[in-house]
Structure 1
C-alpha cells in the first residue's frame, strides 16, 4: 500500500511510518520543514549520544584512555630497521664537524694535563665544534635527545641511563648515544690528537661512501681459545671513532647494553644501579668486545644482503692498510692504537699514527677487578706475549696440583719477597731524595747575600723561598716514593716461581728490562707509560713443575702492580 502524509499544498516526499512527523502534532508543519527536520534530528541525536558516551566513559575509566608507554613498541620497531644507512642520498657528503669528549668537569676546570691533551683537538681542527659532556650535563643531554617528545622518543633509555651508577658503563652508553644523536668524532679525555680529523679517511676513499670510521685495537687471534684472553683478543678501538648521526648500529649497542645489564641484575637479584661487574664483564658487555660484536654483526648483515661472503676477523688480521667493509671503514692498528707493544702496532712516531692514548683517565679497572691469581696475578700483564702467557698458564696449572701446605708456603715466600723488595726500594728512594734536597738547599744558601749585606725584607723573602722550596722537595719526595713503590711492586711481584721443596734466591733467573713509556689499556694489557717489567734470562729457568714467570704481579691482598 502506498502511504502519503497529509499535506494541503506543495510536493510530498515519502517518510517512514516511524517518523515523528506522522504524529498529529507535527503533521500540520510545512512540507519543506517536515522533509529536513527528521534527518537533522537523527544526526544530532546520534552525534550527541556518541559524545555523551565518550565523556561518560572517560570519567569512569580514565586509565584506559591514557597513552600507553611507547618503549616496547618503539623497541620492536627499531629492531626491524636495518643497521646501515637507509638512504645514502639523504645524508650529507661530509661527517659532522663535531668533536665530543666526556669527563667529570667542564674544560674550564680541567687540570693542566687534561687541558694540554684536549687542546690538541681544537688546534688541529679549527673548523670543528668541540664539546665536553660532564657528570652534571650528561643526563640533560640524554633527556633532550632521547626523552619523550624528542626525535628519538625513547624514554626507556633515559630511565635506564638514570638508573645506572657504574661510571664506566655510563661512559660507554653516553658515547654511543652521542654518536647516534649527532655523530662526529668521539675521543676519550686522555686521547691526544696527532693528526687532523680530515686524515681519518684516506684520500683514496670517497667520504660519501663511508658511514663510520673505526680502527683495530687488539689483533691477537691466536688466543681466541684462551679462557681469560679469548673474548678480548680481537677487537676494534672505541676510545676514538667517527660516524654519521642516526646509524642504527649505535642505537642497537645501547639496546644490547640495556638487555645485558638487566639480565645480570636479574641474576644477582639487585637493581641495575647495584649490579657488581668484573673487568671482563665490562669489556664484553659495554666496551671494546661489545662494540666489535655489534659492528661485525652489521657488516655481516650488509654482506648477506649484498650476496657477499661472511666477514670474519681474517679480513682485519695483520692488515697494513685500511679496508672498507660495506660502509664501515676499518683502519689498521697503527692509526688509533699505536705504541701498545702488541698486535704489531708500531709507535706514535709513525707517519700513520692519528691519535695517542695516554691512559691517565683509565682507572676504572680498580672498581671492576680482573681475575688475579693469588700467586701469579693477572695474565694481562704479559701484554699478549705468547711465551709469557704460556708460562703463566703452566704455573697456574702446576700450582693447582700442589697440596694446600705447599701452596701456603709458596704464597708466604712470595709475600715476604714482595715486602722486602718494597721496603728496600722505599729506603733507597728516601735516601736519594734527602741527599738531593740537601744539595739544593746548600746551593740556595750559597746564593744568599753576605751577613753584612742582608736587609730585613731580604731575610723574610729568603725564609719564604726556602720554605716553599722545602715544601716542593717534600712533594717531589712523596711523588717519587710513590713511583718507587710501583716499581718495587712490579719488580718484586715478577720474581720467578719456586718449585715445591726447593729454595731459590729472590730474583734469580731474571734481569730487569724497561719497556719505555708503558701503561695498561682498556683491555688490561701493558701500554706506553714507563713501567719496568721483568724478562727471563734464557737458560736460567728453575726446574719443573714451575718455570720463570715473565709477569707475576703482587700476591693476593697486596697493593696492585699496575692499574689501567
Structure 2
C-alpha cells in the first residue's frame, strides 16, 4: 500500500503545480488586457522605451522591434489583450517598438522600393494571402531598416540585450537566426520540413544584410514561378501550403540561410551538419541559435528547465497564426 500512497502524493503535487502554472498564465493574460502597450491606433508609429538607455557601443543590429498585424476582413481593430506587445516593450528598454498595419506596410513598401526596386513593390501589392504578405514584409523591413522582428503570437522570456550574445561578439553580429526544427531532437515531422529548419517568426538583422537581400530575390522569383506555372498573374495565383512554405515561409528561409552558411564555411556540407546544436554557432556575422532559443516550451517559460544551464530559452511562440490554406 505504501507505493500507492506515494503515487497519490506525487499525483496531487503534480496537479497542484499545474494549477499554479495555469493561474500564472491567466494572471499574465489579465495584466496584458489591463495594461496594453499598443492598440490599433498606434500601428506604424514607433513607441520609445528608454527607461534604461542602451550602451553607447556601436552594434550592427539597430535597437528596433518590429511586429506586423494584417487585420482579417471581418476585424477592424486589434484585440489588445491577445498580444504580447507590452512584453516586448518591457523586455527591450532603449528600443523603439513599431507595429506595422496594412496601410503602413503599403506606404513603407512604396516609399522604400517603388523607385529603386519596382519589382519588390509590385510583388508585395499583388499578394493576397496575409501570411505571405507578412512573410515578405518582415524580410523587407529587416533588409531596409534592420532590427528585430517577431510575430504577434510570440513572447520574449529574457531581455533582448541578453540573447546569448557576448558583449564583444554582439558588435560583430549582423544576423541572428534560431532553429525551428532539429531532426536530431524532434525526430520525423513531415515531408515539408528540412532536417534542420530555421524559424522566421523571430529574426534579428542589420540593415542591408546580404541574406535578407538574397531572400527578397528568392521570394520574388519563387512567387512568380508559381504564377507562371498556373498561367496566371501573381494576383490571381493560388498557393498551396507547400508552395507558401517554399516561396515566403520557413522552408524557403532555411534554403537561403543555409546557402549563405555553406558559402561561408566549407565544412558544412548539408543541413544535418547543424543538428543537435547546443550553443550558438557563428558563421562570420551570422549566428545560429539552438532550437530552444526561439521555440521555448511551457516548462521553459516557468523556469522548469533550468538544468539546461547556458541553453536558455529566449522566445516562446504560441502558434496562433492563420496563414494555411485548406488544400
TM over 0.5: yes
Cα distance change, pair 267–102 in 1 and its aligned pair in 2 (3 A): same
Higher relative contact order (CA 8 A, sep 6+): 2
- Measured after TM superposition, the shift of residue 137 of structure 1 is 1.4
* Counterpart Cα distance in 2 of 1:123 and 1:171: 24
In our comparison, the structure showing a higher alpha carbon Rg is 1
Q: 1:526-550 CA distances to partner (integer Å, 9 max, x unpaired)?
A: xxxxxxxxxxxxxxxxxxxxxxxxx
* Counterpart Cα distance in 2 of 1:97 and 1:326: 21
Report the counterpart of residue 113 of structure 1 in structure 2. 81
- Measured after TM superposition, the shift of residue 233 of structure 1 is 4.1
* Counterpart Cα distance in 2 of 1:225 and 1:321: 22
Q: 1:101 aligns with which of 44, 48, 67?
A: 67
* Counterpart Cα distance in 2 of 1:156 and 1:276: 20
Cα distance change, pair 272–230 in 1 and its aligned pair in 2 (3 A): closer
* Counterpart Cα distance in 2 of 1:337 and 1:229: 20
**Unmatched 5+ stretches in structure 1:** 1-90, 341-345, 370-564
Report the counterpart of residue 95 of structure 2 in structure 1. 128
Report the counterpart of residue 256 of structure 1 in structure 2. 218
- Measured after TM superposition, the shift of residue 229 of structure 1 is 2.0
Q: 1:238 aligns with which of 188, 200, 212?
A: 200
* Counterpart Cα distance in 2 of 1:347 and 1:233: 24
Confirm or deny that 1:300 pairs with 2:253. Answer: no
* Counterpart Cα distance in 2 of 1:215 and 1:177: 19
- Measured after TM superposition, the shift of residue 368 of structure 1 is 4.6
* Counterpart Cα distance in 2 of 1:134 and 1:164: 15
Q: 2:286 aligns with which of 328, 335, 338?
A: 328
Report the counterpart of residue 195 of structure 1 in structure 2. 158
1:470-489 to structure 2, matched below 5 A, reads: none
Contact preservation (8 Å) 2:142, 2:212: yes
SS in 2 for 1:119: helix
* Counterpart Cα distance in 2 of 1:94 and 1:191: 24
- Measured after TM superposition, the shift of residue 201 of structure 1 is 3.9
* Counterpart Cα distance in 1 of 2:77 and 2:286: 36
* Counterpart Cα distance in 1 of 2:313 and 2:62: 22
Contact preservation (8 Å) 1:100, 1:184: yes
SS in 2 for 1:347: helix
SS in 2 for 1:130: strand
Q: 2:241 aligns with which of 279, 284, 299?
A: 279
Over aligned residues, Cα RMSD in angstroms?
Answer: 2.5
Contact preservation (8 Å) 2:132, 2:244: yes
* Counterpart Cα distance in 1 of 2:77 and 2:93: 21
Contact preservation (8 Å) 1:97, 1:128: yes
Paired residues, what number?
A: 260
Report the counterpart of residue 122 of structure 2 in structure 1. 159
- Measured after TM superposition, the shift of residue 126 of structure 1 is 2.3
* Counterpart Cα distance in 2 of 1:267 and 1:240: 31
Q: 1:446-495 CA distances to partner (integer Å, 9 max, x unpaired)?
A: xxxxxxxxxxxxxxxxxxxxxxxxxxxxxxxxxxxxxxxxxxxxxxxxxx
1:377-392 to structure 2, matched below 5 A, reads: none
SS in 1 for 2:202: strand
Confirm or deny that 1:359 pairs with 2:326. Answer: no
1:163-174 to structure 2, matched below 5 A, reads: 163-174=126-137
SS in 1 for 2:199: strand
Cα distance change, pair 316–137 in 1 and its aligned pair in 2 (3 A): same
**Unmatched 5+ stretches in structure 2:** 1-56, 307-311
SS in 1 for 2:177: strand
- Measured after TM superposition, the shift of residue 205 of structure 1 is 5.4
Report the counterpart of residue 142 of structure 1 in structure 2. 109
TM superposition score normalised by structure 2: 0.73
Cα distance change, pair 183–311 in 1 and its aligned pair in 2 (3 A): farther
1:530-541 to structure 2, matched below 5 A, reads: none
- Measured after TM superposition, the shift of residue 100 of structure 1 is 0.1
Q: 1:371-421 CA distances to partner (integer Å, 9 max, x unpaired)?
A: xxxxxxxxxxxxxxxxxxxxxxxxxxxxxxxxxxxxxxxxxxxxxxxxxxx
Report the counterpart of residue 407 of structure 1 in structure 2. none
Contact preservation (8 Å) 1:216, 1:237: yes
- Measured after TM superposition, the shift of residue 99 of structure 1 is 0.2
Contact preservation (8 Å) 2:293, 2:315: yes
Q: 1:312 aligns with which of 270, 280, 283?
A: 270
Confirm or deny that 1:347 pairs with 2:300. Answer: yes
Q: 1:495-553 CA distances to partner (integer Å, 9 max, x unpaired)?
A: xxxxxxxxxxxxxxxxxxxxxxxxxxxxxxxxxxxxxxxxxxxxxxxxxxxxxxxxxxx
* Counterpart Cα distance in 2 of 1:187 and 1:222: 24
